[in-house]
């Protein structure tokens, strides 16, 4: 039997194995793909599943790639994802990929050159499992993680900041699932460590090995953190253990106190990465969007013209499928960059001083209005923050993924 988790609990392993068999059977009943690939945490044997009194709770998703040159099955994959998510109680994503995705980069149907090195490409190459068909992953070209540009880790951190907005406190003070929130605190801390490991050219596809590497390097490499360095090391060790073997006792502080610690630590890491990767010091968050978009413009100028045009056409498609007027069509950067430019502002807004919050939210609103329509501003700052957060999450989901 395949091994899907670090715990190797027989109940978990048998359950996941039966799910994988069902997924393959559903897919192959309709088509004969070149391969069916399990990516993500389960693909590398490190899925996060919480077991209590014989009941299983899945935190990691099933990430399934179906390799075929025929794109006509995409609607089937979308329906199957929804169906299996409901059946398994595990978020299941089945997506179409071309069998040559490890060697050829595309924007939609348009080839744009050789596949660019990224965390995702590297982890698929070494941290995934073939469920069916040819081993198109194992036969792919070798990838040295030291050659991945550190911006890939920076973007990972931005994505985790955006995802965390779902789980941070809001003005409605709704009852939250504490264990799920701590899982996302875990993901946020791991992303901080992962982005630093990529900068240090010591990245690895395994959570377990990343934890070892970070622990061995932290003392020498975290001078920029000051007295927060030891706190980061402690949080990363705890987060690694929670990711591999989740249990309630690993977190003893309240959700609110834990988020405050995370925000303080991530602030130091993000400022350091911004200076090291983007090349400018981050002094005030309200100044970040303009500086970030200048960097994005410079990066876009380096794209081959056909690749930049393909990305712009993709932006137009994403607007039109939501029945919206394409905004920023003639800007020199992708809409996704405009979204990423305000993610850090929303992330830190929860811990921003009340006197500084109006200025921060005004900058977010001004930037978001260039991306899509907004409701009128709320007089209450906390409700305004909630409104902007919800709209930012919509934009992030719509524009930051293919």
User: Each residue of 147-171: pLDDT tens digit?
Assistant: 999 999 999 999 999 999 999 877 5
Element (H, E) at 53: none
The pLDDT assigned to 354 comes to 83
Query: What is the distance between the alpha carbons of residues 179 and 270, in angstroms, rounded to a whole number?
Result: 25
Assigned token pair, 310: 């393909």
The pLDDT assigned to 113 comes to 75
Q: Is 115 helix (H, G, I), strand (E, B) or coil?
A: coil
Which among 363, 290, 274, 390 is positioned nearest to 333, based on CA atoms? 290
Assigned token pair, 115: 């596949």
Neighbours of 330 (CB within 10 A): 7
The residues pairing with 105 across neighbouring beta strands, listed in sequence order, are 113
Q: Which residue has the tokens 């990929």?
A: 97
Query: What is the distance between the alpha carbons of residues 128 and 393, in angstroms, rounded to a whole number?
Result: 28
CB 314 within 8 A of CB 402: yes
The pLDDT assigned to 401 comes to 73
For residue 40, CA distances in Å to 92, 198, 253 come to: 11, 18, 29
Query: What is the distance between the alpha carbons of residues 343 and 100, in angstroms, rounded to a whole number?
Result: 33
Return the axis-axis angle of helices 381-399 and 151-164, rounded to nearest 10°.
130
The pLDDT assigned to 171 comes to 59
Q: Is 111 helix (H, G, I), strand (E, B) or coil?
A: strand
Which among 109, 112, 41, 123 is positioned nearest to 70, based on CA atoms? 109
The residues pairing with 92 across neighbouring beta strands, listed in sequence order, are 62
10-residue mean pLDDT profile of the chain (402 residues): values are 84 96 98 97 96 92 96 94 97 95 76 84 96 94 95 96 88 69 95 98 97 96 94 96 93 90 96 97 96 86 72 84 83 90 96 91 96 94 94 94 62
Using DSSP bridges, classify how beta strands 110-114 and 129-133 pair: parallel, antiparallel or unpaired: unpaired
Query: What is the distance between the alpha carbons of residues 78 and 113, in angstroms, rounded to a whole number?
Result: 28
The beta strands (E) that lie in 207-331 are given as none
Assigned token pair, 59: 């935190």
Q: Is 169 helix (H, G, I), strand (E, B) or coil?
A: coil
User: Each residue of 286-308: pLDDT tens digit?
Assistant: 999 999 999 988 876 666 777 77
The pLDDT assigned to 98 comes to 93
The pLDDT assigned to 377 comes to 95
Element (H, E) at 228: none
The pLDDT assigned to 325 comes to 86
Query: What is the distance between the alpha carbons of residues 286 and 280, in angstroms, rounded to a whole number?
Result: 14
């Amino acid at each position: 039997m395949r091994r899907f988790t670090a715990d190797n609990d027989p109940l978990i392993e048998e359950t996941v194995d039966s799910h994988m068999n069902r997924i393959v059977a559903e897919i192959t009943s309709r088509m004969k793909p070149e391969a069916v690939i399990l990516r993500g945490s389960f693909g590398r044997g490190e899925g996060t599943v919480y077991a209590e009194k014989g009941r299983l709770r899945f935190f990691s998703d099933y990430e399934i790639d179906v390799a075929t040159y025929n794109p006509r099955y995409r609607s089937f994959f979308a329906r199957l994802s929804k169906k299996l998510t409901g059946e398994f109680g595990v978020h299941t994503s089945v997506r179409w990929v071309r069998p040559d995705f490890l060697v050829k980069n595309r924007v939609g149907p348009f080839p744009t050159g050789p596949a660019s090195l990224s965390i995702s490409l590297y982890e698929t190459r070494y941290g995934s499992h073939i469920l069916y068909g040819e081993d198109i992953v194992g036969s792919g070209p070798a990838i040295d993680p030291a050659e991945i540009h550190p911006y890939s880790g920076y973007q990972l951190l931005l994505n985790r900041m955006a995802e965390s907005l779902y789980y941070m406190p809001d003005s409605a003070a709704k009852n939250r699932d504490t264990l799920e929130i701590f899982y996302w605190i875990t993901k946020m801390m791991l992303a901080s460590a992962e982005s630093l490991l990529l900068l240090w050219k010591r990245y690895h596809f395994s959570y377990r090995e990343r934890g070892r590497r970070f622990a061995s390097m932290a003392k020498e490499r975290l001078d920029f953190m000051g007295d927060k360095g030891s706190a980061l090391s402690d949080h990363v060790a705890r987060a690694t253990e929670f990711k591999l073997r989740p249990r309630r006792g690993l977190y003893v502080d309240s959700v609110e106190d834990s988020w405050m610690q995370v925000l303080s630590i991530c602030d130091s890491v993000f400022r350091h990465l911004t200076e090291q990767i983007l090349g400018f010091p981050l002094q005030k968050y309200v100044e970040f969007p303009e500086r970030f978009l200048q960097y994005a413009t410079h990066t876009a100028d380096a794209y081959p013209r056909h690749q930049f045009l393909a990305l712009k056409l993709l932006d137009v498609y994403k607007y039109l499928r939501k029945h919206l007027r394409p905004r920023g069509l003639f800007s020199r950067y992708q809409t996704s960059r405009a979204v990423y430019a305000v993610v850090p502002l929303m992330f830190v807004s929860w811990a921003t001083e009340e006197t500084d919050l109006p200025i921060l939210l005004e900058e977010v609103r001004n930037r978001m209005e260039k991306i899509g329509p907004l409701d009128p501003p709320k007089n209450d700052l906390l409700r305004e923050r909630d409104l902007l957060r919800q709209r930012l999450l919509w934009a992030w989901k719509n524009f930051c993924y293919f």
